[in-house]
Structure 1
């Protein structure tokens, strides 16, 4: 094969790949459910107040929590490099404790938009390995928080205690709806400490 023919074939292949990527992106965009609002993170959070244990009150279904049956909670602590250590745990469908640990990296000056990775330390540089964690709402005492991301695919309602007043839950879920979240598949989290 001549050099010119190789260059021509490479150019055709790259053009074909570029067209395929653009078509795939267009189809993906067309298939996304239209929403009434774009999620918006709060301007800033006080990281020190946000650290500690949070109990999951409700969530939208997600692949990584598919086996969580109850007692879902997250614990956040500050690392020396100012990243946030994340420790998530739940009781799985077999009645056993599942634990996953990761790191959250701030993406804005107000620390309200983060990227979280649960990959081993040596692989955390991989760009697509991090998920969005946006604080959409938090009360002034840092007792209840609503967390999601720009895609509307993930949503968590968190509290410092597993038992939250129903009026507070509804108020925060209304915030989620106002930001374009479809709550038709919302999962209410069970906790063994509940009365």
Structure 2
């Protein structure tokens, strides 16, 4: 029994791990991060496959965490998909390192490793490893030069940006 609990704890801890050389932003202000974000680009995963017009909306939870509502349009089925999750800070509330759950007790890393320091107009997000990457913006489109700069940064940190999907936003 102890061995099983240890393995479960190890598995869950691994899901909120940080990829090598990915540092979460410091001086993070969750109140400035709240509201709607548009997904500009992502590395594909089954839970987002075929989705366009993807947004994430963050609000405060009464327990001190963040409520997350992810929404996207499934073109093949002509329907909107929506999922609600919750996020909590892994360490301190002024560090952009959270764990997020959309499926019960299972959490995954949400690491904000680049963020517009003044206006919070863009962010780069990693998951527990470098197969997870999102580029988010407060607007449905992004200045092409800024977008390229952020993609170049992600590539320089070891993400396979050749596999990025650029999300159609209407």
TM-score range with shorter-chain normalisation? Answer: 0.7 to 0.9
Among 128, 145, 148, the alignment partner of 1:167 is: 145
Deviation at 1:139, TM superposition (A): 0.5
Mark the runs of 5 or more structure 1 residues left unpaired by the alignment: 1-13, 15-20, 22-34
Map 1:57-76 onto structure 2 (within 5 A). Answer: 57-68=40-51, 70-76=52-58
Q: Distance in 1 between matches of 2:128 and 2:108?
A: 10
Aligned to 1:108, the other structure's residue is in SS state coil
SS across alignment from 1:136:
strand
Provide TM-score, normalisation by structure 2: 0.83
Q: Residue in 2 aligned with 1:130? A: 107
Structure 2: unaligned runs, 5 residues or longer: 8-18
CA contact (8 A) 1:39 1:149 kept: no
CA displacement, residues 73-98 of structure 1 (integer Å, 9 cap, x when unaligned): 00000011110000000000312100
In the other structure, the counterpart of 2:25 is 42
116, 121, 142: which one aligns with 1:143: 121
Q: How many residues align?
A: 151
Q: Aligned match of 1:80 in 62, 69, 83?
A: 62
Deviation of 1:111 after TM superposition, in Å, equals 3.7
Structure with higher Rg: it is 1
Q: Give 1:154's aligned residue.
A: 132
SS in 2 for 1:132: strand
1:146-174 Cα deviation digits (max 9, x unpaired):
00134101000000000111001011111
Considering fraction of residues, name the structure with more helix: 1
Give, in angstroms, the shift of residue 38 of structure 1: 2.2
Question: Does the 8 A contact of 1:52 with 1:76 survive in 2?
Answer: yes
What root-mean-square deviation, in Å, do the aligned CA atoms of Structure 1 and Structure 2 show?
1.7
Paired position in structure 2 for 1:185? 163
Partner Cα separation in structure 1 for residue 166 and residue 42 of structure 2: 7
Q: Per-residue CA shift, 1:98-151, capped at 9, x if unaligned?
A: 0000000110212411111112xxx32xxxx21110001001210011001341
TM-score by length of 1: 0.73
| Aligned partner of residue 162 in structure 2, secondary structure | coil
CA distance in 1, matches of 2:90, 2:157: 20
